[in-house]
């Protein structure tokens, strides 16, 4: 009789260990969606172990001192709670993923036909006008935009004073340094920004027109000018 009671107590401890493992697995699934498959397998394994241990406990319990019904009900409720939480987490992750995908696609579609500024150093002159831009990591006292032809020779230069940190756009009227009008075509930009004697980190921005939207499992992307499959985060400014 003493041996039977000892087995009964040990099995109950094992069941609680299985329940705790299931609860831990369920909790971890809510912290990251990438591990949901592994967590699901862990929960399923815990449930199988729970049922096996519960059956063993019932088979080996002391007939004179059977397991309390309230204890069994509590154990079953805990394992069901863990399973329910896992299913709820999976459902919420699916809904959230679908919502983000839809939101991203709508935002990308709204850009169709619009001109945007993205990182790039090309400046396209057409009918005596070209639009470009630049970003500054810090405020600058002076920003010099050097416009170069295909051979690398400076054709024109634009100077802007007192520019805040962030993104900015500018328009080149096509006039070269000698006062003549430059030929339509593709030029390159070089940005030099300074604050006193310090050089400010900067990047050139190229104008492009959004021509198409691509939707995939990884989210929406856009084609713009010579750029393909740009993420929405690559769009620095909408003109």
Give the mean pLDDT of 40-44: 58
What is the DSSP code (8-state) at residue 114?
A: -
Q: Say if residues 130 and 160 touch (Cβ distance below 8 Å).
A: no
- 138 and 47 within one domain: no
pLDDT at 41 exceeding the cut of 90: no
- 145 and 232 within one domain: yes
Domain final position from 90, 109, 128: 109
- 121 and 105 within one domain: no
- 56 and 40 within one domain: yes
Average pLDDT, the chain: 77
Tell me phi and psi for residue 180, to 5 degrees.
-90, 165
- Greater confidence (20 vs 235) lies with 235
- 61 and 11 within one domain: yes
The per-residue pLDDT for range 21-35, each reduced to its tens digit, is 544 544 544 444 444
Which of the four pLDDT bands, split at 50, 70 and 90, describes residue 194? very high
- 231 and 135 within one domain: yes
Which of the four pLDDT bands, split at 50, 70 and 90, describes residue 3? very low
Which of the four pLDDT bands, split at 50, 70 and 90, describes residue 9? very low
Give 173's Cβ-side CA count (13 Å radius).
5
Q: Say if residues 226 and 121 touch (Cβ distance below 8 Å).
A: no
Q: Which domain holds residue 25?
A: 2-109
**Which DSSP string corresponds to 44-74?**
HHHHHHHHHHHHHHHHHSBTTBPPPHHHHHH
pLDDT at 232 exceeding the cut of 70: yes
Number of domains in the chain: 2
pLDDT at 62: 60
The per-residue pLDDT for range 74-102, each reduced to its tens digit, is 766 666 676 666 666 776 666 555 555 56
pLDDT at 188 exceeding the cut of 90: yes
Question: Could you tell me the CATH number of the domain that includes residue 175?
Answer: 2.60.40.4070
- 130 and 43 within one domain: no
pLDDT at 219: 75
pLDDT at 197 exceeding the cut of 80: yes
- Greater confidence (239 vs 143) lies with 143
The per-residue pLDDT for range 121-163, each reduced to its tens digit, is 999 999 989 999 999 999 999 999 999 999 999 999 999 999 9
- 87 and 13 within one domain: yes
pLDDT at 59 exceeding the cut of 90: no
Domain final position from 63, 92, 109: 109
CB atoms within 10 A of CB 5: 14
pLDDT at 4: 39
Q: How far apart are CA 55 and CA 15, in angstroms?
A: 10
**Which DSSP string corresponds to 130-183?**
EEEEEEESS-EEEEEEEEE-TTS-EEEEEEEEEE-SEEEEEEE-SB-TTSPBPP
Domain final position from 91, 109, 127: 109
pTM: 0.59
């Amino acid at each position: 009789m003493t041996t039977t009671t000892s087995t009964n107590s040990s099995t109950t401890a094992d069941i609680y260990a299985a329940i705790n493992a299931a609860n831990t697995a369920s909790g971890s699934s809510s912290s990251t969606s990438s591990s949901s498959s592994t967590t699901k397998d862990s929960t399923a394994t815990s449930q199988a172990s729970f049922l096996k241990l519960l059956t063993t406990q019932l088979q080996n319990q002391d007939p004179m001192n059977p397991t309390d019904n309230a204890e069994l009900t509590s154990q079953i409720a805990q394992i069901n709670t863990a399973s329910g939480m896992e299913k709820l987490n999976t459902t919420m992750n699916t809904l959230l993923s679908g919502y983000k995908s839809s939101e991203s696609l709508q935002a990308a579609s709204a850009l169709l036909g619009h001109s945007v500024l993205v990182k790039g150093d090309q400046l396209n002159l057409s009918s005596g006008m070209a639009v470009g831009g630049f970003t500054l990591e810090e405020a600058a006292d002076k920003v010099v935009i050097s416009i170069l032809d295909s051979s690398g020779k400076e054709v024109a230069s634009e100077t802007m004073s007192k520019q805040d940190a962030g993104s900015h756009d500018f328009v080149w009227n096509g006039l070269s340094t000698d006062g003549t009008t430059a030929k339509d075509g593709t030029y390159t930009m070089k940005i030099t920004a300074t604050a006193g004697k310090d050089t400010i980190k900067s990047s050139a921005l190229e104008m492009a027109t959004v021509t198409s939207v691509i939707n995939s499992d990884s989210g929406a992307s856009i084609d713009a000018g010579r750029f393909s499959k740009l993420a929405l985060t690559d769009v620095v400014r909408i003109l």
